Amino acid sequence: MSYKTVKGEASASFTEKKSEFIGHIAPVKTNDEANMFINKIKSQNRKAKHNVYAYILREQNITRYSDDAEPQGTGGVPVLEVLQKEGLCDVCVVVTRYFGGILLGTGGLTRAYSKGCKLAVEAAEIMEMHLSYEVNISIDYNMYGKISAILPEFETKIISSDFGEDVTLKLLVKSEKVKALSDKLTDAAFGAVKICVGDEIYGNFA
């Protein structure tokens, strides 16, 4: 199981018939975090005519959106549809509009808000999150080379390493690969390896 989200906040802008559109994106995990981001963008853009938004939360599969006084269906829904098409969740986008005096019509608004969201997504760093475990292994120094050569076979990510009395490695391992990795490490070290598997979490392997 995996899902895609963004690593941090990003923004991008463009102008359409004298109206400036600014897309803002951020990772969020709760309604409160989404609302805090929305309110922050609104506070930073008090003179803007509209701050259209949409967000998707993985927990309970929550989606919310707002046209923020634009004609119904021309703002929030297009933004939400871009996020869904990109396969993103735990993410919030606010598209700010500074009105330039020229009406865009419903079709023009829909295209503009979609573009504002798309540009924000493109400006962000996308992360793919996988169900995984943090795995701690402890080995003698003379086994380090042999063990470290095995790790890439299982697409592990080294979170930290400690070269003390023994070598201790903290790894991120995809859930479906934990047992096979543990078995291979045990065989390679002739049982002389300590393996401690932590809780299952979503982790980024980039």
3-state secondary structure 4-43: EEECCCEEEEEEECCEEEEEEEEECCCHHHHHHHHHHHHH
Q: What is the CATH number of domain 2-124?
A: 3.30.230.30
How many helical (H) and strand (E) elements, i.e. helices and strands, does the chain have?
A: 5, 10
pLDDT band at 1 (very low <50, low <70, confident <90, very high): confident
Cβ-based burial of 152 (10 A; exposed 0-12, middle 13-18, buried ≥19): exposed
Structure tokens at 55: 């967000």
Give 107-159 pLDDT, tens digit per residue.
999 999 999 999 999 999 999 999 999 999 999 999 999 999 999 999 999 99
Whole-number Å distance between alpha carbons of 29 and 6: 11
Give 30-64 pLDDT, tens digit per residue.
999 999 999 999 999 999 999 999 999 998 899 99
Whole-number Å distance between alpha carbons of 96 and 22: 5
Cβ-based burial of 153 (10 A; exposed 0-12, middle 13-18, buried ≥19): exposed
Closest CA to 130 of 59, 27, 202, 58: 202
Write out the residue limits of the CATH 3.30.70.240 domain(s) in the chain: 130-204
Structure tokens at 2: 């995996």
Model pTM? 0.82
Second-level CATH architecture of 130-204: 2-Layer Sandwich (3.30)
Structure tokens at 186: 């045990």
Q: Does the pLDDT of residue 206 top 80, yes or no?
A: no
Write out the residue limits of the CATH 3.30.230.30 domain(s) in the chain: 2-124
- Identify the pLDDT of residue 161: 94
